């Protein structure tokens, strides 16, 4: 996972005017045209989704503070209405909200649930068909939005069964928040968990596991008849790939603990505290009300699973020498580990400051993994390595390396030369990223290296072109990633850290060739 070096939200809250309820009430209907703004007698606005007017399920209304709303309110289609509150404390009553929904033409046979953020945790049955739920944090609101939307049809059709879910959450849910520290602890990337002191971790999964142990400890013995609803929110803008990695770690932990689960996610902006991090909320729910999700599949990884025809080395194609392959991999990884400080220094200037740690930790994991492996079976070993790196190597770089190596493991079993296999893997990688040559990414190193190696077979010429590509990034404008938030003058003269790190790896692996 990344470590915060500088604030990455490009605009201050004053510039965004994010806490202006009038502005939010104007923007939300533009984002979702199905929204109808209903003015109450007190002058406040209730934003009602008209697509749910004839819905047979319990109505869900969310009341929260403008500026701290999450993407759940923009993406979830089962939220009937949204109300923004301000610091003056003027909040509509449950009856007023129900009346506004009625005026919008909604049927309310199944009842109404109102979720209010920033309140004491409490459920109040205002009327027979009207329930108010106070929640302390936006994380809890997001979790309940998902939980109510993902519950069984029978639960969503009955206010009484919905109340059972709500009571289970209020009584049994646990939460934890982990924020990324702005520096190292004992020479390692660090996070702060809840009220604990900052602590350094050798691997990203250790930090996530620590948070999971805390939030799931009260629930680990509950395995029969329940589905564990687990929601995680990235705080202040983790990248999409970092979110995927976080989700993978959580799902792996739940699966290994033998828990049936349903996982959900959202993004939260907290202008009061700009540090990035993640929060996790967990609650066991009766399986009668919530069904467990099926295990996700990865088609790309499935192509290279152990025992598949793609990973078995065919005698008609390449043969691999364990000693030669091992020497190259070890030399490349040792070179990356040695250059960690330089890569980190570059990334502290133009990025999050975590690229050096990510590549170093990935290199260490590779060395550890291959120690007892037969590298003469390189395609199969590579596919197994990817599954290990998916868990142990975070960040955008980690995801891109995993995609590339997955494709490479298949290509090595089906082509006649390493250069051909690298070309096939590059083509596959380009299907999974928008980055291209000239975008100031690791591809400014990888593309020229692979293309020249394939066309000439000359490793020295390929490395020379790769080095030119890395040098060119010193004067390129970033089009993707964190560097896009910086003025071009801030990145000028500094190579892209990912491209530089890859060049170090390629040079290290090519030492014996030269």
pLDDT digits over 165-201, tens only? Answer: 999 999 999 998 887 655 555 655 555 555 555 555 5
Calculate what percentage of the chain has a pLDDT beyond 70.
77
Bridge pairing between strands 112-117 and 59-65: parallel
The residue with greater pLDDT, 130 or 484, is: 130
The residue with greater pLDDT, 499 or 298, is: 499
What does residue 332 show for φ and ψ, rounded to 5 degrees? Answer: -65, -45
pLDDT 10s digits, 261-283: 999 888 877 656 666 788 899 99
Residue limits of CATH 1.25.40.340 in the chain: 299-509
Residue limits of CATH 3.30.1180.20 in the chain: 174-286
pLDDT at position 72: 62
Query: Is pLDDT of 503 > 90?
Result: yes
Please list, in sequence order, all residues whose beta carbon lies within 8 angstroms of the beta carbon of residue 246, skipping any fewer than 6 positions away: 1, 208, 232, 234, 238, 278
- CA-CA-CA-CA dihedral for 441, 446, 451, 456, to nearest 10: 140
Cα dihedral sign, 200-205-208-211: negative
The least confident of 51-60, 118-127, 487-496 is 487-496
Q: Other C-beta atoms within 10 Å of 21: how many?
A: 19
Q: What b/e string do you get for 192-224 counting C-beta neighbours within 10 Å, with b at 16 or more?
A: bbeeeebbbbebbbebbbbbbebbbeebeeeee
Calculate what percentage of the chain has a pLDDT beyond 90.
39
Query: Is pLDDT of 473 > 60?
Result: yes
The least confident of 163-167, 466-470, 507-511 is 507-511
Q: What b/e string do you get for 408-433 counting C-beta neighbours within 10 Å, with b at 16 or more?
A: bbbbbbbbeebbbbbbbbbebbeeeb
Tell the CATH topology of 299-509.
Answer: 1.25.40
CA distance 389 to 373: 15
Please list, in sequence order, all residues whose beta carbon lies within 8 angstroms of the beta carbon of residue 107, skipping any fewer than 6 positions away: 53, 54, 55, 56
Average pLDDT (34-48) is: 84
Residue 396 DSSP one-character state:
H
Helix/strand/coil percentages in the chain, nearest 5: 50, 15, 35
The least confident of 9-23, 64-78, 209-223, 348-362 is 9-23
Bridge pairing between strands 35-39 and 277-286: unpaired
Whether pTM exceeds 0.85: no
Highest mean pLDDT among 94-108, 159-173, 206-220: 159-173
pLDDT band at 398 (very low <50, low <70, confident <90, very high): confident
CA distance 408 to 216: 38
Spell out where 244-375 has E strands.
Answer: 261-268, 277-286
Query: Is pLDDT of 4 > 50?
Result: no
pLDDT 10s digits, 345-392: 998 888 778 888 889 999 999 999 999 999 998 988 998 898 888 767
For residue 119, which of 102, 103, 105, 140 has the smallest C-alpha distance?
Answer: 140
Half-sphere exposure of 287 (CA within 13 A, CB side): 11
- The structure tokens listed for 34 are 């199905």
Query: Is pLDDT of 307 > 60?
Result: no
Query: Is pLDDT of 341 > 90?
Result: yes
The residue with greater pLDDT, 316 or 467, is: 467
For residue 211, which of 184, 247, 250, 182 has the smallest C-alpha distance?
Answer: 250
For residue 242, which of 251, 230, 234 has the smallest C-alpha distance?
Answer: 234
pLDDT at position 2: 39
Please list, in sequence order, all residues whose beta carbon lies within 8 angstroms of the beta carbon of residue 12, skipping any fewer than 6 positions away: none
- State in words which class domain 174-286 has: alpha beta
Average pLDDT (112-117) is: 92
Average pLDDT (480-506) is: 74
Cα–Cα distances in Å, from 328 out to 83, 357, 398, 478? 60, 21, 20, 32
Mean pLDDT of the chain: 81
Using an 8 Å Cβ cutoff, are 230 and 262 in contact?
Answer: yes
**Helix residue ranges, H only, 371-394:** 378-392
Using an 8 Å Cβ cutoff, are 309 and 302 in contact?
Answer: no
Q: Going edge to edge, which strands form the sheet with 112-117?
A: 35-39, 45-49, 81-85, 59-65, 112-117, 130-135, 122-127
């Amino acid at each position: 996972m990344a470590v915060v070096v500088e604030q990455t939200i490009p605009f201050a809250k004053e510039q965004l005017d994010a806490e202006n309820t009038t502005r939010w009430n104007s923007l939300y209907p533009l984002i979702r045209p199905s929204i109808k703004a209903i003015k109450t007698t007190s002058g406040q606005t209730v934003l009602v989704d008209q697509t749910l007017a004839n819905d047979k399920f319990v109505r869900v209304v969310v009341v929260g503070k403008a500026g701290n709303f999450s993407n759940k309110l923009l993406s979830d289609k089962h939220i009937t209405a949204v109300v923004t509150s301000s610091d003056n404390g003027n909040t509509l009553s449950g009856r007023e909200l129900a009346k506004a929904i009625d005026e919008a033409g909604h049927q309310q046979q199944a009842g109404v649930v109102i979720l209010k953020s920033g309140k004491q945790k409490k459920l109040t049955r205002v009327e027979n068909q009207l329930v108010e739920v106070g929640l302390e944090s936006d994380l809890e609101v997001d979790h309940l939005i998902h939980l109510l939307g993902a519950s069984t049809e029978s639960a969503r059709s009955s206010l009484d069964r919905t109340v059972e879910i709500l009571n289970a959450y209020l009584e049994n849910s646990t939460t934890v928040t982990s924020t990324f520290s702005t520096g190292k602890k004992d020479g390692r990337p660090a996070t702060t968990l809840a009220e604990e002191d900052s602590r350094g971790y050798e691997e990203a999964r250790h930090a996530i596991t620590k948070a999971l142990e805390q939030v799931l400890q009260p629930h680990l013995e509950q395995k029969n008849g329940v589905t564990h609803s687990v929601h995680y929110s990235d705080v202040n803008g983790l990248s999409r790939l970092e979110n995927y990695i976080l989700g993978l770690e959580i799902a792996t932990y739940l699966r290994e603990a033998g828990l049936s689960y349903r996982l959900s996610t959202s993004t939260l902006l907290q202008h009061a505290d700009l540090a990035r991090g993640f929060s996790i909320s967990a609650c066991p729910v009766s399986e009668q009300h919530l069904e467990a999700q099926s295990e996700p599949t990865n088609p790309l990884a499935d192509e290279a699973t152990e025992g598949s025809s793609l990973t078995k080395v065919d005698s008609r194609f390449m043969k691999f020498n364990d000693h030669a392959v091992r020497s190259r991999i070890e030399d490349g990884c040792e070179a990356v580990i040695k250059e960690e400080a330089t890569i980190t220094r570059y990334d502290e200037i133009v990025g999050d400051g975590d690229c050096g740690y990510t590549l170093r930790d990935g290199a260490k994991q590779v060395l550890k993994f291959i120690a007892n492996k037969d590298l003469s079976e390189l395609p199969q070993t590579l596919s197994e390595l990817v599954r290990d790196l998916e868990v142990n190597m975070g960040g955008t770089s980690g995801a891109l390396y995993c995609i590339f190596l997955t494709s490479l493991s298949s290509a090595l079993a089906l082509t006649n030369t390493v250069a051909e296999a690298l070309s096939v893997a590059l083509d596959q990688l380009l299907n999974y990223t928008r980055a291209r040559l000239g975008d100031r990414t690791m591809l400014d190193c990888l593309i020229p290296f692979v293309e020249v190696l394939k066309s000439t077979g000359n490793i020295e010429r390929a490395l020379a072109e790769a080095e030119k590509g890395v040098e060119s990034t010193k004067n390129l404008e970033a089009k993707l990633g964190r560097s896009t938030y910086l003025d071009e003058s801030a990145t000028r003269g500094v190579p892209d850290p990912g491209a530089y790190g890859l060049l170090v790896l390629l040079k290290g692996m090519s030492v014996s060739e030269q």
